[in-house]
């Protein structure tokens, strides 16, 4: 059958019409494709190109070496140790379990370590190295390296960990580092990209924390090209970072170690300041702890034993702890009165053993009274009534102002953790703090360093240095940063030298006259003679009930309620160089407990190590030699002949 011409015409007519519609449809689809292409490739090209770069280039941070910390003589206090570790890469190892079993034959691996490694390996991509063991001895690492051919995928690596070679001596000053936590990050406004490195170590307390930016250094980075699964294809560029800057402390590690050993776990704080420039020569809080424990990650048991200890080893008693300064505050009152012109050094007050004020009796520590005392005698024998009298004359506001001038009630800007401001109270302060008016009794309590007055050992040491030098020395802890000397400040205070000398003479009498409260702790070598002032601050009064039970003496009380023992001193008297403040928490009497420590520490500062025995009164030398021998000092700071330098 042959198709008619008409049929053919009709058929091709339909096809043509339909084809035109279909062609139009296809054309518009292609138009849409072209427009979409144009939109993506021309209009949004920049955006996509950016995404492509992000895809491709991965920046890997290179951790800088943390700055080192030295003492004033260049002895290392904080350093970076090589940390040897072994890592395993799954794709090179093949059978990870078999390789680990072989590795167990070479180094000690606990089942937990193996299990943890296997878990980690299973979770990560095949080419990511997983740490098998950390903090290995070098010998183990060497063994692994030698056997490398039998251990596919196992790689020895070297990292760095912080180490504090002097252990507990600098725990409160230098502090310690630890891995950055979410809490740390939340506190940072603009976290350094380095914080993204897992377990990156940052300073957690002390100088390590406060000088973090200086010590940390700058991250280097390595730009690497990665593919879709994160495998490194090649390194595109590498920028080396900058190591952290090295710090030199003003502290003398020898004096620090001697002091720590001298305190021997007694709950106490000692600060030694250079009178000429404010350098902190020693700042010791006892008992202490080993900061290296924190770097490695402290065990729960260790941490509990630190927090549970009633002597509070974690607290920094030198700057954080504040105590009623007791009689060591009397120099402040004396200078305030002298400068105000309400007394003269020669003028006397009458001490009958008490002063009646505000309807009650304020006792002198000597119940019989001191009779007529002038300034020198009042300081020498620590007569309370003399200071009650002159404090009333000068008024609390001028006492507080003098306290501020001498460094009390001031927060020194040092790179240490938790520095307390202390309290140098005045009328305004009481109104602000308690909403109450200042009473006469408050003045009397404050005049003997009780009541509202609170000071830290650092503040007392600075006070003593300022009294000894007449200059407003500012404490300094960082001597140099990368060898650049940091500024010191010791402007004259503008207190009349005559008045200063009167107070200094009083302190000299304390230590060097037979009736002085510090006479037992004198130095007989005139070139190293010291002058001081004792203080015994009450934590609370002995109650009537206790008195009834026959408790009258301090050492019959439980430890927490005994008096704090304080002593401040400077030396050598002819040209003062070092000032010290000692506080022994609940130690008892300042003259009996704190003064011997102050003497030993000052002598150590003056000689830069062990105090010379012949500086002590001859009757005390044997006992002191035996004590020094028994002290837990670092060997490096003991004289080579095993004896004290004489």
Partner 1 sequence: MSYLEYAIKTVPSGIRKVLYLNWPLVFLLTAISSVGFLMLYSVAGGSPQPWMEPQMERFGLGMVAMFAAAMVPIWFWRNISFVAYAVSLLLLIAVEIMGEIGMGAQRWIDLGFFQLQPSELMKIALVMVLAAYYDWLDVEKVSRPLWMLPPLLLILVPTALVLKQPDLGTAILLLAGGGFIMWLAGVHWAYFLAVIASGVSLVYAVMASRGTDWQLIKDYQFRRIDTFLDPTSDPLGAGYHITQATIALGSGGWTGRGFMQGTQSRLNFLPEKHTDFIFTTLAEEFGFVGASSLLGLYALVLVFCYISAMANRDRFSSLLILGIAATFFLFFSVNMAMVMGMAPVVGVPLPLVSYGGSAMMVLLGAFGLVQSAHVHRPR
Catalytic residue numbers?
327
Task: Name which of 226 and 340 has its Cβ closer to partner 1.
Answer: 226
Tokens of 512: 């060097």
**Contact set for partner 1, span 138-167 (CB under 8 A):** none
Q: What minimum distance in Å lies between the beta carbon of 47 and partner 1? A: 7
Q: Which of 342, 322, 452 is nearest to 386 (CA)?
A: 342
Stretch that binds partner 1, among 24-32, 128-136, 342-350, 604-612 (CB under 8 A): 24-32
Tell me: does residue 2 bind partner 1 (CB under 8 A): yes
Tell me: does residue 646 bind partner 1 (CB under 8 A): no
Helix (H) or strand (E) holding 161: strand 154-163
Question: Contact with partner 1 (CB under 8 A): which of 118, 195, 226, 481?
Answer: 226
Phi/psi at 570 (5° precision): -140, 165
Helix (H) or strand (E) holding 335: helix 330-340
Give CA 573 to chain center in angstroms: 31
Lay out the site mask for partner 1 across 59-98 (x = CB under 8 A, - = otherwise): ----------------------------------------
Task: Name which of 41 and 543 has its Cβ closer to partner 1.
Answer: 41
Task: Name which of 44 and 622 has its Cβ closer to partner 1.
Answer: 44
Q: What minimum distance in Å lies between the beta carbon of 233 and partner 1? A: 6
Tell me: does residue 48 bind partner 1 (CB under 8 A): yes
Residue 163, number of CB atoms within 10 A of its CB? 17
In sequence order, what DSSP letters do the residues of 209-270 get, joined into one string?
A: HHTHHHHH-B-EEEEEEE-TT--EEEEEEEE--BPPPPEEES--HHHHHHHHHHHTT-SEEE
Tell me: does residue 8 bind partner 1 (CB under 8 A): yes
Tell me: does residue 11 bind partner 1 (CB under 8 A): yes
Question: Contact with partner 1 (CB under 8 A): which of 18, 372, 393, 501?
Answer: 18
Query: In whole angstroms, what is the distance from residue 277 CA to residue 440 CA?
Result: 38
Question: Contact with partner 1 (CB under 8 A): which of 186, 189, 228, 308?
Answer: 228
Task: Name which of 229 and 300 has its Cβ closer to partner 1.
Answer: 229
Task: Name which of 20 and 158 has its Cβ closer to partner 1.
Answer: 20
Task: Name which of 48 and 350 has its Cβ closer to partner 1.
Answer: 48
Stretch that binds partner 1, among 33-41, 62-70, 343-351, 601-609 (CB under 8 A): 33-41
Question: Contact with partner 1 (CB under 8 A): which of 73, 82, 196, 227?
Answer: 227
Task: Name which of 46 and 491 has its Cβ closer to partner 1.
Answer: 46
Task: Name which of 30 and 98 has its Cβ closer to partner 1.
Answer: 30
Tell me: does residue 119 bind partner 1 (CB under 8 A): no
Residue 507, number of CB atoms within 10 A of its CB? 28
The 10 Å CB-count burial string (b at 16+, else e) for 330-369 is bbbbbbbbbbbebbebeebbebebbbeeeeeebebeeeeb
In sequence order, what DSSP letters do the residues of 409-478 get, joined into one string?
A: T-----S-SS----B---HHHHHHHHS----HHHHHHHHTT-TT-BB-HHHHHHHHHHHHHSEEEPPB-E
Question: Contact with partner 1 (CB under 8 A): which of 66, 68, 137, 233?
Answer: 233
Question: Contact with partner 1 (CB under 8 A): which of 24, 38, 299, 629?
Answer: 38
Tell me: does residue 124 bind partner 1 (CB under 8 A): no
Q: What is the three-class DSSP state of 565? A: strand
Query: In whole angstroms, what is the distance from residue 270 CA to residue 458 CA?
Result: 8
**Contact set for partner 1, span 242-271 (CB under 8 A):** none
Q: What minimum distance in Å lies between the beta carbon of 29 and partner 1? A: 5
Positive/negative CA dihedral, 95, 98, 104, 106: negative
Question: Contact with partner 1 (CB under 8 A): which of 24, 32, 307, 552?
Answer: 32
Tell me: does residue 42 bind partner 1 (CB under 8 A): yes
Stretch that binds partner 1, among 73-81, 219-227, 445-453, 519-527 (CB under 8 A): 219-227
Burial of 286 (0-12, 13-18, 19+ CB in 10 A): buried
Tell me: does residue 123 bind partner 1 (CB under 8 A): no
Number of residues that bind partner 1 (CB under 8 A): 44
Q: What minimum distance in Å lies between the beta carbon of 32 and partner 1? A: 8
Q: What minimum distance in Å lies between the beta carbon of 62 and partner 1? A: 23
Q: What minimum distance in Å lies between the beta carbon of 42 and partner 1? A: 6
Q: What minimum distance in Å lies between the beta carbon of 6 and partner 1? A: 10
Tell me: does residue 45 bind partner 1 (CB under 8 A): yes
Q: Which of 234, 240, 187 is nearest to 218 (CA)?
A: 240
Question: How would you classify residue 343: left for phi > 0, otherwise alpha for psi between -120 and 50, otherwise beta?
Answer: beta
Task: Name which of 226 and 314 has its Cβ closer to partner 1.
Answer: 226
Stretch that binds partner 1, among 15-23, 326-334, 476-484, 564-572 (CB under 8 A): 15-23
Residue indicated by tokens 């400068």: 339
Q: At what angle do helices 457-469 and 330-340 cross, to 10 degrees?
A: 40
Q: What is the three-class DSSP state of 206? A: helix
Q: What minimum distance in Å lies between the beta carbon of 10 and partner 1? A: 6
Stretch that binds partner 1, among 2-10, 92-100, 498-506, 615-623 (CB under 8 A): 2-10
Task: Name which of 25 and 630 has its Cβ closer to partner 1.
Answer: 25
Query: In whole angstroms, what is the distance from residue 57 CA to residue 224 CA?
Result: 6
Stretch that binds partner 1, among 4-12, 296-304, 448-456, 492-500 (CB under 8 A): 4-12
Query: In whole angstroms, what is the distance from residue 58 CA to residue 62 CA?
Result: 13
Task: Name which of 49 and 645 has its Cβ closer to partner 1.
Answer: 49
Query: In whole angstroms, what is the distance from residue 646 CA to residue 625 CA?
Result: 11
β-pairing verdict for 69-70 and 247-249: parallel
Q: What minimum distance in Å lies between the beta carbon of 82 and partner 1? A: 36
Residue indicated by tokens 């144009």: 38
- Beta carbons of 483 and 506 less than 8 angstroms apart: no
Binding site for partner 1 (CB under 8 A): 1-3, 7-8, 10-12, 14-16, 18-19, 21-23, 26-27, 29-30, 32-34, 36-38, 40-42, 44-45, 47-49, 51-52, 55-56, 225-229, 233
């Amino acid at each position: 059958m042959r198709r008619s011409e008409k049929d053919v015409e009709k058929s091709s007519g339909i096809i043509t019409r339909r084809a035109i519609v279909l062609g139009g449809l296809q054309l518009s689809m292609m138009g849409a494709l072209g427009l979409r292409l144009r939109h993506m490739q021309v209009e949004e090209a920049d955006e996509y190109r950016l995404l492509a770069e992000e895809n491709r280039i991965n920046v890997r941070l290179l951790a800088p070496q943390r700055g080192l910390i030295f003492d004033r003589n260049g002895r290392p206090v904080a350093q970076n140790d090589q940390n040897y570790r072994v890592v395993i890469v799954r794709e090179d190892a093949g059978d990870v379990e078999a390789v680990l079993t072989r590795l167990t034959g070479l180094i000690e691996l606990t089942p937990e370590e193996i299990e943890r490694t296997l878990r980690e390996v299973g979770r990560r991509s095949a080419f990511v190295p997983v740490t098998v063991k950390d903090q290995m001895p070098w010998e183990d690492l060497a063994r692994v390296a030698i056997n490398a051919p039998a251990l596919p995928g196992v790689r020895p690596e070297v990292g760095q960990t912080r180490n504090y070679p002097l252990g507990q001596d600098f725990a409160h000053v230098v502090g310690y580092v630890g891995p950055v936590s979410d809490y740390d990050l939340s506190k940072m406004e603009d976290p350094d990209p380095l914080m993204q490195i897992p377990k990156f170590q940052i300073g957690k307390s002390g100088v390590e924390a406060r000088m973090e930016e200086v010590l940390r250094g700058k991250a280097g980075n390595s730009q690497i090209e990665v593919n879709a699964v994160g495998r490194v294809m090649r390194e595109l560029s590498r920028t080396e970072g900058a190591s952290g800057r090295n710090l030199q402390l003003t502290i003398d590690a020898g004096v620090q170690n001697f002091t720590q050993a001298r305190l021997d776990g007694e709950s106490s704080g000692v600060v030694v300041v250079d009178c000429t420039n404010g350098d902190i020569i020693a700042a010791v809080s006892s008992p202490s702890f080993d900061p290296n424990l924190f770097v490695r990650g402290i065990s729960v048991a260790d941490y509990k034993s630190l927090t549970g200890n009633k002597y509070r080893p974690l607290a920094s008693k030198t700057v954080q702890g504040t105590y009623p300064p007791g009689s060591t505050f009397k120099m402040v009152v004396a200078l305030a009165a002298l400068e105000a012109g309400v007394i003269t050094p020669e003028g006397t007050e009458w001490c009958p053993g008490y002063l009646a004020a505000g309807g009650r009796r304020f006792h002198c520590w000597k119940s019989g009274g001191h009779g007529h005392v002038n300034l020198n005698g009042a300081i020498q024998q620590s007569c309370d009534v003399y200071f009650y009298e002159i404090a009333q004359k000068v008024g609390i506001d001028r006492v507080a102002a003098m306290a501020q001038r001498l460094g009390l009630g001031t927060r020194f800007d040092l790179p240490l953790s938790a520095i307390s401001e202390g309290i140098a109270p005045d009328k305004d302060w009481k109104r602000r703090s308690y909403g109450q008016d200042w009473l006469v009794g408050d003045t009397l309590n404050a005049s003997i360093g009780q009541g509202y007055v609170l000071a830290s050992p650092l503040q007392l040491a600075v006070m003593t240095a300022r009294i000894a030098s007449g200059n407003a020395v500012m404490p300094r802890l960082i001597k140099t940063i990368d060898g650049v000397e940091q500024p010191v400040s010791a402007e004259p205070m503008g207190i009349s030298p005559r008045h200063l000398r009167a107070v200094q003479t009083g302190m000299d009498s304390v230590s060097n006259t037979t009736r002085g409260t510090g006479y037992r702790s004198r130095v007989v070598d005139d070139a190293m003679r010291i002058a001081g002032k004792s203080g015994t601050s009450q934590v609370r009064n002995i109650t009537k009930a206790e008195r009834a039970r026959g408790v009258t003496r301090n050492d019959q009380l439980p430890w927490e309620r005994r008096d704090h023992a304080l002593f401040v001193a400077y030396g050598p008297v002819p040209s003062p160089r070092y000032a010290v403040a000692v506080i022994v928490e609940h130690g008892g009497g300042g003259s009996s407990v704190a003064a011997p420590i102050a003497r030993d520490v000052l002598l150590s500062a003056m000689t830069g190590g062990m105090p010379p025995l012949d500086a002590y009164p001859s009757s005390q030398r044997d006992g002191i030699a035996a004590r020094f021998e028994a002290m837990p000092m670092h060997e490096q700071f003991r004289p080579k002949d095993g004896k004290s330098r004489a």
